[in-house]
A and B are shown apart, each in its own frame.
Chain A
Amino acid sequence: MSTPAQDTSPEVDTRAEATRWLGTVLGLSAWAMFFAALVFAVGWYRMREAWPSPRVPTWGLCLTGLLLVAGSVALHLGSRREGRRPLWTTWGVWTAGLGFLALQAMWMHQAWWTEYLRIPESGVPASAFHGLTALHALHVLGVEVGLFACCWRHLRGADARASWRTWSLGWHFVTVTWVFLFVAVYLP
């Protein structure tokens, strides 16, 4: 027994989008293991000896991360309020992402040049601060590129809703992983 192929029906489109969504959720969930492994490594060092302060204000790093949290909240609310037109929220969040990257770069710069938290002289804490911050920032940069592409497609008249949902999930992902980072590395 067999059924004919129906590759172009709207139902199929909906299911295809659901499949993409599942793939994104599973992929990001699995990739969280990358950060879990990094946190495990830092946890190991923290158990071994006292963990020093990153020499930049904790409140400053906290405020920087709040940009990600705010972006997550905005994207969530935007999905509910704007429905089919999440464009302005997305531009706002994208700008917040740039702000986050700029502030993180500023803190790293201050830690390196002003506070002398340098690699390799400052050992594992400096390696963790600079290395893990940079790895996380690379992920944020990837999400920024995705969100920009999404907005660009929307501006050109394409339907970017599915893409928008995918990259929103990416933003939530980097927000959650930033919390891991904050607890594992930035808190003394």
Chain B
Amino acid sequence: MSVDHKQVARRYLWSGLGFLLLGGLLALLIRWQWAWPGQPVPGLAWALPESRGALTPPTYTSVFTMHGLVMIFFAVTPLLFGALGHFVLPLAIGARGLAFPRLSTLGFWVYALGGALVLVSFGVRLGPANAGWTAYPPLSTTAFTPGLGQTLVTVAVLCAGVSAFTYGLNFVVTVARCRAPGMTWGRLPLTVWGLFFASVLNVLFVPVLAAATVLLLMDRLLGTQFFIAGAAAVGGGGDPVVYQHLFWLFGHPEVYILILPAWGMVGDMVSFFSRKPAHGYRLTAGAMGVVSALSGLVYAHHLFTSGMSPMLGRTFMVLTLLISLPAEVMFLNWLMTLWRGSVRLTSPMLAALSTVVVFGLGGITGLALGAVATDVPLHGTLWVVGHFHLTMGAASFLGVFAGLYFWFPKMFGRQLHEGLAKAHVVSSAVLFLGVFGGQLAAGYAGQLRRLYDPYQYTYLKHLLPLNQWTTACAFLLGAAQGLFVVNLVWTLWRGRVADANPWQVGTLEWTCAASPPSDENFERIPVVLRGPHALSQPEVLEQLGRDWVGQAEALPAEAPAISGPQPLLERTS
């Protein structure tokens, strides 16, 4: 079994895409229910024969629970870190591999075990988990969700957590210890910065999720009383709110775990495809660091309505709103990079710009949830769903595809069809806005989250046309993914061989490694001479006749001076 980071990345890629498909199909079922509540879903009678294909209330709760769990723990996170992170990070810093290759392989197999448990849970009696993706007790305890499926999925989440911990640790140590000579911290691509900070959050906060999950499992399996309350409690009972605190202590950083790598990619791609150095490189990297630091201090804004002290509510509100400041710094830097740049609207660039737009909208709509006064009326509504789908769903999804379209030629040595890729990105971005914009509007109008049939309430009946319109957007969004599938299959089958450096950028993976890279990544370890965004520099144009120069490429007039850390060429296991 290969422990090569590129092989591990491919394994994560295929399994992550598979779970993305599963999660997407589950999302379409939810949308169907909101547009045509209780009506049979065409083609689903084989799975739900008793209702002739219609979603029943228990099935509906299982579907939205599994959609959230699958998308977050088994699709988007593994695609960003498992696939793109594993593939890009060692190449971008000039390393021969990850610091702990066997650990990364182990992490994948633990993730695969979790994925298998998720799939198995669909086949057990009483179905898979159905306590919501957050698995709040007491709903997720055996008192209310007695089926084996909830237990299997809880173990699966634990597996995904262990996997995330292993690659988070691996990435942090790899960046700290395995950079090529000359690759100082100030020369790291922003993608690496994003992965690094997100990995720090992973190793710090995934253990908290593990603690919450282990306590929940003990309640389910061993009869402990940590989260059991009310009539089901014995001997005084526990407190479900503790779980909520632990879960969100992990859950809010998880938002940034999902978006920081995408932010890093956006920062790089905006620079690469504006043919300009990244404006405020250090500020952007620093802002990502500040966001990471603050992300652990804002979690309780998810609990404003849980009965917490108003004093605490105010404190968390201020901290939550503060986090928008470093985010603004990043956005302004991206805009300044675009300003008067020679912008090339390639597919990765379009995906990166779409990420900026959808995350920007998600961020702005999140301000209403960060402030106590506006969160209280909006908290239980679809506004929250629209907001977090824009930030965690659409932005991360488009970030994944920005990365995938950019590094695909490096991963497979073949070039995806650019026209299909652009059509996929633009249609997805527009339709994301349609779907989640519709959810925001419905939420603002008061539609509550998780309702099986919202129209049982008279005041929500008039939202049916809006929900049907949103559902149409969702189905079109699903269909638009066919563009990617066709492009992927065609390219892998008989796509054209990629150029050595199709995007004409200077980072190490494009200038020092073959496409696809060899087992050792580089024939010789590069010595880095400059940052990742040396674009459109007059001396380079003059001496090389092009607007880019490799990070390890010496100009004819440049002395071969080497600075930075001493060579580190080993791989450990």
A and B interact physically: yes
- Measured as residues with beta carbon below 8 angstroms from the partner, the interface class of chain A is 35 or more
Which chain A residues border B512 with CB–CB below 8 Å?
2
Provide the bound-state CA to CA distance between A70 and B214, in Å. Answer: 30
Q: Is A119 an interface residue (CB 8 A)?
A: yes
Given contacts A33-B205, A126-B225, 20 further A-B contacts (CB under 8 A): A1-B526, A2-B523, A2-B527, A4-B524, A4-B525, A5-B96, A6-B567, A7-B570, A31-B207, A33-B207, A37-B212, A37-B249, A41-B226, A49-B236, A120-B225, A123-B235, A124-B225, A124-B226, A126-B224, A131-B222
Which chain A residues border B249 with CB–CB below 8 Å?
37
Taking a contact as CB atoms under 8 Å apart, the answer to whether B235 and A33 are in contact is no
Taking a contact as CB atoms under 8 Å apart, the answer to whether A135 and B226 are in contact is no
Provide the bound-state CA to CA distance between A19 and B529, in Å. Answer: 24
Which chain B residues border A20 with CB–CB below 8 Å?
100, 572
Which chain A residues border B170 with CB–CB below 8 Å?
23
Provide the bound-state CA to CA distance between A131 and B96, in Å. Answer: 43
Provide the bound-state CA to CA distance between A31 and B524, in Å. Answer: 36
Can you sample 8 A-B contacts with CB below 8 Å? A1-B554, A19-B177, A19-B572, A23-B99, A49-B236, A119-B224, A120-B228, A123-B238
Q: Is A127 an interface residue (CB 8 A)?
A: yes
Which chain A residues border B525 with CB–CB below 8 Å?
2-5
Closest B residue by C-beta to A1: B527
Provide the bound-state CA to CA distance between A36 and B560, in Å. Answer: 50
Provide the bound-state CA to CA distance between A16 and B568, in Å. Answer: 9
Q: Is A156 an interface residue (CB 8 A)?
A: no
How many Å from the CB of B526 to the closest CB on chain A? 5
Taking A27-B203, A48-B239, A121-B234 as contacts, is the C-beta distance between A2 and B100 under 8 angstroms? no
Taking A19-B99, A19-B572, A120-B234 as contacts, is the C-beta distance between A45 and B239 under 8 angstroms? yes
How many Å from the CB of A141 to the closest CB on chain B? 16
Taking a contact as CB atoms under 8 Å apart, the answer to whether A26 and B172 are in contact is yes
Q: Is A77 an interface residue (CB 8 A)?
A: no
Provide the bound-state CA to CA distance between A49 and B204, in Å. Answer: 30
Q: Is A15 an interface residue (CB 8 A)?
A: yes
Taking a contact as CB atoms under 8 Å apart, the answer to whether B208 and A37 are in contact is yes
Q: Is A152 an interface residue (CB 8 A)?
A: no
B interface, CB within 8 angstroms of A: 96, 99-100, 165, 169-170, 172-173, 176-178, 181, 203-205, 207-208, 210-212, 214-215, 218, 222-226, 228, 233-239, 242, 245-246, 249, 512, 520, 522-527, 529, 552-554, 560, 562, 567-572
User: Majority SS of interface residues in chain B?
Assistant: loop
Closest B residue by C-beta to A122: B235
Provide the bound-state CA to CA distance between A152 and B510, in Å. Answer: 46
Which chain A residues border B100 with CB–CB below 8 Å?
20, 23
Pick the most buried of A23, A36, A49: most chain B CB atoms within 10 A of its CB.
Answer: A23
How many Å from the CB of B143 to the closest CB on chain A? 11
Taking a contact as CB atoms under 8 Å apart, the answer to whether B169 and A2 are in contact is no
Provide the bound-state CA to CA distance between A48 and B177, in Å. Answer: 45
How many Å from the CB of A158 to the closest CB on chain B? 16
Closest A residue by C-beta to B554: A1
Which chain A residues border B526 with CB–CB below 8 Å?
1-2
Provide the bound-state CA to CA distance between A41 and B224, in Å. Answer: 14
Which chain A residues border B234 with CB–CB below 8 Å?
120-121, 123
Contact of B236 among A3, A12, A16, A123 (CB under 8 A): A123
Contact of A2 among B212, B214, B524 (CB under 8 A): B524
Provide the bound-state CA to CA distance between A6 and B204, in Å. Answer: 34
Taking a contact as CB atoms under 8 Å apart, the answer to whether B169 and A23 are in contact is yes
Taking a contact as CB atoms under 8 Å apart, the answer to whether B177 and A124 are in contact is no
Closest B residue by C-beta to A41: B242
Taking a contact as CB atoms under 8 Å apart, the answer to whether A123 and B237 are in contact is yes
Taking a contact as CB atoms under 8 Å apart, the answer to whether A30 and B524 are in contact is no
Taking A124-B236, A127-B225 as contacts, is the C-beta distance between A3 and B203 under 8 angstroms? no
Which chain B residues border A22 with CB–CB below 8 Å?
173, 176-177
Q: Is A159 an interface residue (CB 8 A)?
A: no
